[in-house]
A = this chain, B = another copy of it.
Amino acid sequence: MTYRAPVPDIVFTLRHVAGFDRAVADGVYGDLSADLAETILDEAGRFANDVIAPLNREGDRVGATFKDGAVTTAPGWKQAYAAWTEAGWNALPGPVEYGGQGLPTLLNSACVEMWNAASMAFGIGPILTMGAIEALSAHASDDLKSRYLDKLVSGAWTATMNLTEPQAGSDLAALRSRAESAGDGTYRITGQKIFITYGEHDLTDNIVHLVLARLPDAPAGTRGISLFLVPKFLADGRRNDVRCHSIEHKLGIHASPTCTMIFGDEAGAVGWLIGEENKGLACMFTMMNNARLAVGLQGVAIAERAYQQALGYAKERKQGRAIGAVEGMSPIAVHPDVQRNLLTMKALTTAARAICYMTAEAIDRAHLEENPARRKKANERASLLTPVAKAFSTDIGVEVSSLGVQVHGGMGFIEEMGAAQHFRDARIAPIYEGTNGIQAIDLVTRKLPLAGGETVRGQIASMRATVARLLKESTPAFGATAPRLRDAVESLDRATGYLLQAVSSNAQGEALAGATPYLRLFALAQGGTALADMALAAQARAKAGDTDPAHAGRIALCRFFAENIAIGARGLEETVMSGAGFLQDANLALAV
């Protein structure tokens, strides 16, 4: 079962939930129109379907291979990457002054979803390049920018993020890689980095490593970390002192090489400082925040792919007889329990997509709004939503791909079918770019207190506004949507109040213990009201005479989410409110 980019759903979400139309009306997107956006997305969808998606199975089967320090990508990958950059897709969001098209993050997010749905192992590479472009644009010297940005924007070269070391994963304070000034404006970098995605490969002539390391006499902990640019090849064509030691044998995304990198085996790798000394983590966070959204989009992508695969199978596979049918076997897609699985998959996917796109729109406004106060507000909203977009989307990526295997029955367990690959691929996204536990802690301890709590309160207010519109909507097709979503939003409001209080009174245990269920609760309320925005827009269209059956489908999907998924909100609220009570004897329960 191959991938067909769901461009109509993507465009509808973009326009009627994520606020594309409003941003265009506000002048935030310059002369970009909905029609132009749709044309671009249609084209991107075709490329994803026709060029990238066919790589996915073979990429999984063969994977990236390692020999004598070199990584060879799977058959066809080099050609596909070349075609992709030549078509300008890498340059889509890049800065205009370095050859990019300067298109919004929102539009690019829809594209990122499609590249990753077509093949997650393909899509992850450019995400890192994109992050490096942002970090360099924001923090690098003009000299570095002029030497590297052109090539990175076009995709002629790719980039990597070198953070993790064996003893320093979530906890970067433990980082040991070293950098010393060579006295000529360059530095010499030494150290070992692990889990470096596309750290080595044969897709491009050069690879630009962004590397965290410590200068001599740097303060201990995270305040002593600096960021360096370390190219695989130096300007004069010499190979830099950095090499790939090995690649990992992973559960999924086999075609994406995960490298152990050795810097400075000989005289030290030549590098250039990005930004200021000891401020490397802040620079890296520029990169990581947008990468977090992109990884969230990977969750949406793999969920969409798994859904399409399962739906396709369920429409073809005949077993049992539909309720009311008199003879013969029916496609399993008509059986209520299978429909529940498929609707769960689609509802979660659509909700996660909406949250990611809303986040992208906030990021765009944070950059593009002219009014500084509005920029600041948008930036806070983007900050608030980013951990939710990352963690919820990648969690549901796993859940949806697991349901996808289930819908296939026994065939789901057979690798040749493809459903199993999605299940394997999906599993990395809740881990990398900050584990989902870290996202939840970030949400509760850093994002809720933004603007004295006004950011999250504003977000809840906009959810309530949707609920208010729903309560006025009396169409029977909405079922119990309004009361269920109202309950979810009110649960979120109470849990938010509780956690804001915990954070401000420094009740760390309470805040940390409730972080993960709180993030899920937030996503249920946000995702449910986003689906409601979509359903209300669909309803308005239908009332206006648009006979597209997709509109009734959008209402049904929203109803399903409200009645079958958002109903978890109350329990999550109770969990958050239970606080850290369970931690007291946790060690005994775990017999740690």
Q: A residues touching B (Cβ–Cβ < 8 Å)?
A: 164, 167-171, 174, 194-195, 248-252, 311, 315, 318-320, 323, 329, 333-343, 346, 398, 402, 405-406, 409-410, 412-416, 420, 423-424, 427-428, 430-432, 435-437, 440-441, 477, 479-480, 484, 508-509, 512-513, 515-517, 549-550, 552-557, 559-560, 563-564, 567-572, 574-575, 578, 580-592
- Closest chain B residue to A333, Cβ basis: B592
Identify 7 new A-B residue pairs, CB closer than 8 A, beyond the known A250-B413, A251-B420.
A164-B410, A248-B413, A252-B413, A346-B590, A553-B588, A568-B568, A568-B571
* Complex contacts, A168 vs chain B, CB 8 Å: 319
In the A-B complex, the 10 residue pairs with the closest CB atoms: A556-B585, A567-B571, A553-B588, A336-B512, A556-B589, A171-B319, A251-B420, A337-B437, A563-B578, A557-B589
Nearest Cβ in chain B — how far from A580, in angstroms? 7
> Is B582's CB under 8 angstroms from A574's CB?
no
Nearest Cβ in chain B — how far from A484, in angstroms? 7
> Is A578's CB under 8 angstroms from B550's CB?
no
> Is A440's CB under 8 angstroms from B337's CB?
yes
10 contacts between A and B (CB under 8 A): A169-B410, A249-B415, A315-B592, A336-B512, A337-B512, A406-B431, A413-B431, A563-B575, A567-B574, A570-B571
Nearest Cβ in chain B — how far from A326, in angstroms? 13
- Closest chain B residue to A340, Cβ basis: B516
- Given A249-B415, A440-B337, A585-B477: A320 touches B560 (CB 8 Å cut-off): no
> Is B427's CB under 8 angstroms from A405's CB?
yes
Nearest Cβ in chain B — how far from A218, in angstroms? 18
> Is A402's CB under 8 angstroms from B427's CB?
yes
- Closest chain B residue to A315, Cβ basis: B592
With A and B bound together, what is the CA distance between A592 and B592 in angstroms? Answer: 50
> Is A569's CB under 8 angstroms from B571's CB?
yes
> Is A553's CB under 8 angstroms from B251's CB?
no
Q: Which of B174, B337, B587 contacts A319 (CB 8 A)?
A: B174
* Complex contacts, A315 vs chain B, CB 8 Å: 592
> Is A402's CB under 8 angstroms from B398's CB?
yes
- Closest chain B residue to A551, Cβ basis: B588
With A and B bound together, what is the CA distance between A340 and B581 in angstroms? Answer: 11
Number of copies: 2
> Is B249's CB under 8 angstroms from A416's CB?
yes
Nearest Cβ in chain B — how far from A291, in angstroms? 15
> Is A423's CB under 8 angstroms from B251's CB?
yes
* Complex contacts, A587 vs chain B, CB 8 Å: 334
With A and B bound together, what is the CA distance between A336 and B410 in angstroms? Answer: 38
Nearest Cβ in chain B — how far from A499, in angstroms? 13
- Closest chain B residue to A574, Cβ basis: B567
- Given A195-B410, A413-B428: A323 touches B512 (CB 8 Å cut-off): yes
Q: Which of B409, B516, B555 contacts A169 (CB 8 A)?
A: B409
With A and B bound together, what is the CA distance between A318 and B423 in angstroms? Answer: 29
* Complex contacts, A508 vs chain B, CB 8 Å: 323
Nearest Cβ in chain B — how far from A99, in angstroms? 34
* Complex contacts, A423 vs chain B, CB 8 Å: 251, 427
- Closest chain B residue to A513, Cβ basis: B336
Q: Which of B251, B320, B346, B582 contacts A343 (CB 8 A)?
A: B582
> Is B581's CB under 8 angstroms from A479's CB?
yes
* Complex contacts, A195 vs chain B, CB 8 Å: 410
> Is A553's CB under 8 angstroms from B585's CB?
yes
> Is B479's CB under 8 angstroms from A578's CB?
yes
> Is A339's CB under 8 angstroms from B590's CB?
yes
> Is B342's CB under 8 angstroms from A515's CB?
no
Q: Which of B402, B430, B516, B552 contacts A588 (CB 8 A)?
A: B552
* Complex contacts, A329 vs chain B, CB 8 Å: 171, 174
- Closest chain B residue to A510, Cβ basis: B336
* Complex contacts, A583 vs chain B, CB 8 Å: 336, 339
- Given A575-B563, A581-B563, A586-B556: A550 touches B413 (CB 8 Å cut-off): no
* Complex contacts, A512 vs chain B, CB 8 Å: 323, 335-337
> Is B569's CB under 8 angstroms from A319's CB?
no
With A and B bound together, what is the CA distance between A431 and B341 in angstroms? Answer: 14
* Complex contacts, A578 vs chain B, CB 8 Å: 479-480, 563-564
> Is A590's CB under 8 angstroms from B441's CB?
no
> Is A589's CB under 8 angstroms from B174's CB?
no
With A and B bound together, what is the CA distance between A104 and B120 in angstroms? Answer: 49
* Complex contacts, A428 vs chain B, CB 8 Å: 413
Nearest Cβ in chain B — how far from A175, in angstroms? 12
With A and B bound together, what is the CA distance between A559 and B588 in angstroms? Answer: 12
> Is B430's CB under 8 angstroms from A513's CB?
no
> Is A171's CB under 8 angstroms from B320's CB?
yes
- Closest chain B residue to A402, Cβ basis: B398
* Complex contacts, A323 vs chain B, CB 8 Å: 508-509, 512
> Is A414's CB under 8 angstroms from B248's CB?
yes
Nearest Cβ in chain B — how far from A545, in angstroms? 18
* Complex contacts, A342 vs chain B, CB 8 Å: 586, 590
- Given A410-B432, A516-B337: A572 touches B581 (CB 8 Å cut-off): no
Nearest Cβ in chain B — how far from A292, in angstroms? 16
With A and B bound together, what is the CA distance between A580 and B572 in angstroms? Answer: 25
- Closest chain B residue to A428, Cβ basis: B413
* Complex contacts, A311 vs chain B, CB 8 Å: 590, 592
